[in-house]
Structure 1
């Protein structure tokens, strides 16, 4: 998705649970046509969790017949995008020639590397009938020595992603390793992403396997060491502690994080880089049409003036 910087972050509060480093209440941003997202990262007090540098929660939204999402072609560099849906569908097209309908539970990883352009639109059939949509989009900042790799796209159907089930608990491993299972997605750095659904009263462990970890509450309420947190919130934990998260109500949440990158990143519009001059070059490349075209698309999002 296309992103514009914001100057009004809502700062999180450190909670009394000793293992918690920061709690972020995502701020609402309107992307146009009434399509709103809740943005948890980047944040005024925290740029990244592991390599996760951007985290948007969109929906729930109901599109009436004849309407849908239309994110026109726009560019990315220096990052990988993960689009993950709970409801609805999105048609992805990119300048590498990939065309993929994204549906609930599937893993979709677009690595921009040195540069890619893509569009995200509601497919024809649900646009005609109307659809309900709920999902997440995250950006994974690339290591400095991998920022200029070739662009690529990976898709894994929900049926092939590992799922761990116990009484009252279901975890789908989208990327990395958790709950004794590992996803097959190829990654250029160490990170993980897991959808966890837990019934009321069920306790879920968040092991200290990864250096930096967070839990994003999509739906429901949890208890951590006597403190309660309700969706939507992002809970960021200190390294090294084993955490137990107890679902107070039926809860859907995302476990995420990984090894911290070697340094902070510059972020402007849809560009992420360890070097300011690389972002300036990407601006000029998009402005002058040097990114590849997206198949079947004639529109594009112009470079913002600010």
Structure 2
């Protein structure tokens, strides 16, 4: 029977939004290109309230926001202004310098709303980490789905399960949403060298071992593994090729070279950074 490394996430609060963060952790700094994983817990915002992450910088990564419930507005220094709803992908590549905001749209803020979703960061390969920034939005119906025998797999980004997402990832990646009905099974193929499973909801077993909800389970390389559902279940699979070298993380910056981070910190502190049009608020260096 395989032995799995299990990561219990730490609880955090991001501008009033409660989250669980299993990555990075002492047990694993990355899984494929994934260096950061936030589960935005179900939160009911009363009228007049909502999530509001003001202008902040990034380098050397791509952010991917994926919602199960609610809506967010994405704005960035490229001029993007996009509403993002459930099942849609908001994909932003930072390159050498980008700034963005994410907030509850004004109409939902006025009436109150519920928010639930995931945000992950994927480290860019060295050849792209100082490149140009970009943004793309991918509607829910553009993401490929396999639906058979009570198991539904949606490829959020990358490839796997004979599916390929249109999201323009920069290295071999798998990011799949999995829904399983009670008493169903799914074979997780050995398609990517590094993989991890995050259980969102339900009673699941992996190779006969019980998985706790809100745990990130690192999967051994080179093995196809059987996932079983003892109730209706919801999970995501992340992973891909190993990073092309270690990454440093400091605040919102990811880089292969400490000097790139120090330079980015100095530029943000000095106000020498691209700005989001018509936005004046910003988050200062911690």
TM-score, length basis structure 1: 0.91
Q: Distance in 1 between matches of 2:172 and 2:234?
A: 24
The answer on whether the counterparts of 2:15 and 2:53 sit within 8 Å (CA) in structure 1 is no
Is 1:249 matched up with 2:231?
Answer: yes
Equivalence for 1:184: 166
Q: Secondary structure at the match of 2:283?
A: coil
Aligned 1:151-170 pairs, distance under 5 A? 151-170=133-152
Equivalence for 1:205: 187
Per-residue deviation at 1:230? 2.1
Aligned 1:294-305 pairs, distance under 5 A? 294-304=276-286
Per-residue deviation at 1:19? 5.2
Per-residue deviation at 1:268? 0.4
Q: Distance in 1 between matches of 2:144 and 2:14?
A: 33
Structure 1 counterpart of 2:63, from 81, 90, 100: 81
Q: Distance in 2 between matches of 1:155 and 1:205?
A: 30
Is 1:27 matched up with 2:14?
Answer: no
Question: Any stretches of 5+ residues in structure 2 without a counterpart?
Answer: none
Misfit runs of 4+, over 3 Å: none
Per-residue deviation at 1:23? 0.5
Q: Distance in 2 between matches of 1:292 and 1:50?
A: 29
Q: Secondary structure at the match of 2:127?
A: helix
Per-residue deviation at 1:30? 1.8
- Number of equivalent positions: 286
Equivalence for 2:201: 219
Q: Distance in 1 between matches of 2:164 and 2:181?
A: 23
Question: Any stretches of 5+ residues in structure 1 without a counterpart?
Answer: 1-16
The answer on whether the counterparts of 2:187 and 2:226 sit within 8 Å (CA) in structure 1 is yes
Per-residue deviation at 1:229? 1.0
Deviations 1:20-75 (A, max 9, x none): 2x111111012243x21100100012100001000000111000011000100000
Q: Aligned Cα RMSD in Å?
A: 1.0
Q: Distance in 2 between matches of 1:153 and 1:32?
A: 23
